[in-house]
Amino acid sequence: MIRALGMMSGTSLDGVDAALIETDGIRIGGFGASAFRAFSDNESAVLHGGLGLWPDAPAVPDLARLVEAAHADLAAGFLNAQLIGFHGQTLAHDPRGRGTHQAGDGAALARATGRPVVWDFRSEDVRQGGEGAPLVPFFHWACAEWAMGQGRLAPAPVAFLNLGGVGNISWVDPTAPAPEAPGACLAFDTGPANAPLNDLMRRRRRQARDEGGALAAQGTPDAAIVAAFLQDPWFARPAPKSLDRDHFAGLLQAVAQLEDAGAAATLVAALAASVAAALDWLPSPPGQVLVCGGGRHNGAIMAALARALPMPVAPVDSIGLDGDMLEAQAFGWLAVRVLRGLPISGPMTTGVPEPVCGGRISHPRGSLTKLFGT
C-alpha cells in the first residue's frame, strides 16, 4: 500500500482539496487527513479570467504558477505523503477539438514538495480518442467495493452523483472484479451543477454561492425554461460524454429575466432534471443515488433530486465516505494506479476505445519518467 496525497481544484474555482489515502491502486486500505485551501478573491478572479485559455495563451504561465503555489502551500502540511496526485486546474476542455487543458506543472510541484508527482491525468485518454473525463468513476467503484466490504452497502449496483461546478454520475457494480472489467462502471457528465448557480449569486448578490440553497428554496422554477434546457442535443447524446464548464452558459441567460429566487430555483430544477434524464442511459436502475461534492450541502438541490428521482437519494457520507474529499482522494488513488501501470479510464467511463493508463510522473530532482507500465 502507498500513502498518496490527492489534490484537486475543481471547476467551481473555490480552492484546492487535499486528502491522504492508503491504497495499492485497487483496494482502499484506509483514508487519512484532509485539508482545503481556499483561493483568495484575487486568485479566484485571476483563474476565472483564465477560463477557456489553451496552453499557448500568454497569460497561462502566470496562472500555472498560481496553481502550483497554492498546491505547494497545501501539500506542505502533509509531510508523510509518499506520492502526490495533482489534477491541476482545468481551464479548457474540448476533447473533440483542441484537447483538454489543466494548468499547473507537476514537475514544478515535485521540486517544490520533494515528492514524486503524478499529473496530466487526462491528455492521454483524449489522445487515444476518449473524452478525458470523468476520471473519478473507477474510484467510485473502489469506494463502493470498500463500503460493501464494511457492510455499509448492498452487493448491488449503486450510483455516485458528483455535484461540483459540473455534475457527473457513475453507475458502478461493486461485485465486479475490477473497475475496468466489462459491466463494472458506466459514467458520464450529467449537465451543469453549481457553476451557473454560483455565477448567478456572484452577479446578482456578490456572494460566492447560495448558502444551503436558501435562496432557491424561496423561488418557483420556471418550467418552460427547464423544458427548453432539456432540448439541448447534449441530453440525446449517448454516454459516455463530458462537458466543458461553460457549455450551458445559455441557461444563465435564460433565467436573466427572472427575479433572484425564481432564477436560482430554475437552475436547481434544471440540475435535477438533467440528473433524471441521465438515469435513462444507465445499464440498470441503481439501488440508490449517493451524492458527493459541494452540491449536497445545498438543501434545495437535495430536495429537488429527491422529487425528481425514483430511487432513494442520500449524501455519500451516509456510507462512511467524505463527500467533500472524494475527488481529492480519487486523484491519490489514480496516482497509485498510474504508478502501477493500471488503467484509469476505459470505454465505459470516457469512451476511449481501450482502457488507458494516462498521467505523467515527475520526480523531485527533475527527471520525467514513467516507472511502470504504459
Ligand X SMILES: Nc1ncnc2c1ncn2[C@@H]1O[C@H](COP(=O)(O)OP(=O)(O)OP(=O)(O)O)[C@@H](O)[C@H]1O
- Which residues would be at the binding site for ligand X (CB under 6 A)? 10-12, 14, 162, 164-166, 194, 197-198, 209-213, 293-295, 297-298, 327
Does 89 bind ligand AH0 (CB under 6 A)? Our answer is no
Is 12 annotated as a binding-site member? Answer: yes
Comparing CB distances to ligand X, the nearer of 204 and 363 is 204
345 binds, among ligand AH0, ligand X, none (CB under 5 to 8 A by kind): none
Q: Work out how close the CB of 14 gets to ligand AH0 at its nearest, in angstroms, rounded to a whole number.
A: 12
Comparing CB distances to ligand AH0, the nearer of 9 and 113 is 9
Comparing CB distances to ligand AH0, the nearer of 219 and 343 is 343
189 binds, among ligand AH0, ligand X, none (CB under 5 to 8 A by kind): ligand AH0
Query: Is the CB of residue 131 less than 8 Å from the CB of residue 241?
Result: yes
Q: Work out how close the CB of 142 gets to ligand X at its nearest, in angstroms, rounded to a whole number.
A: 18
Q: Work out how close the CB of 134 gets to ligand AH0 at its nearest, in angstroms, rounded to a whole number.
A: 3
Is 186 annotated as a binding-site member? Answer: no
Pairing of strands 15-23, 2-9: antiparallel
Kindly tell me which residue out of 64, 135, 216, 361 binds ligand AH0, with binding defined by CB under 6 A. 135
Q: Which amino acid is at 49?
A: G
Coil, helix or strand at residue 339: helix
Kindly report the backbone phi and psi dihedral angles of residue 102, in degrees, each rounded to the nearest multiple of 5, phi listed first: -110, 115
Is 99 annotated as a binding-site member? Answer: no
Does 247 bind ligand AH0 (CB under 6 A)? Our answer is no
Candidate ranges 14-22, 44-52, 131-139, 366-374; the one touching ligand AH0 (CB under 6 A): 131-139
Candidate ranges 133-141, 283-291, 316-324, 332-340; the one touching ligand AH0 (CB under 6 A): 133-141
135 binds, among ligand X, ligand AH0, none (CB under 5 to 8 A by kind): ligand AH0
Q: Which of residues 227-246 bind ligand AH0 (CB under 6 A)?
A: 242-243
Beta strands in the chain (DSSP E): 2-9, 15-23, 28-38, 83-94, 99-103, 117-119, 158-163, 166-172, 185-192, 289-292, 313-315, 360-362
Q: Which residue is nearest to ligand AH0 (CB)?
A: 134
136 binds, among ligand X, ligand AH0, none (CB under 5 to 8 A by kind): ligand AH0
302, 306, 311, 317 alpha-carbon torsion, rounded to 10°: 20
Where do the H-state alpha helices sit in 239-362? Answer: 249-254, 260-278, 299-308, 326-340
Does 93 bind ligand AH0 (CB under 6 A)? Our answer is yes
What b-and-e string marks burial along 306-324, b requiring 16 or more CB atoms within 10 Å of the CB? eebbeeebeebeebebebb
| Distance of alpha carbon 333 from the chain centroid | 14
Instruction: Round to whole Å and give the CA distance between 289 and 281.
Output: 14
Candidate ranges 64-72, 129-137, 255-263, 308-316; the one touching ligand AH0 (CB under 6 A): 129-137
Q: Work out how close the CB of 245 gets to ligand X at its nearest, in angstroms, rounded to a whole number.
A: 8
Q: How deeply is 230 buried, as exposed, middle or buried, from its count of CB atoms within 10 A (0-12, 13-18, 19+)?
A: middle
Instruction: Round to whole Å and give the CA distance between 164 and 132.
Output: 17
Instruction: Round to whole Å and give the CA distance between 345 and 349.
Output: 6
Does 327 bind ligand AH0 (CB under 6 A)? Our answer is yes
Is 295 annotated as a binding-site member? Answer: no
Question: How many residues of this chain bind ligand AH0 (CB under 6 A)?
Answer: 17
Which of 130, 57, 50, 118 is closest to 90 using CA atoms? Answer: 50
Q: What length is written for the chain? A: 374
Residues that bind ligand AH0 (CB under 6 A): 10-11, 90, 93, 100, 133-136, 164-166, 168, 189, 242-243, 327
Residues annotated in a binding site for ATP: 10-17
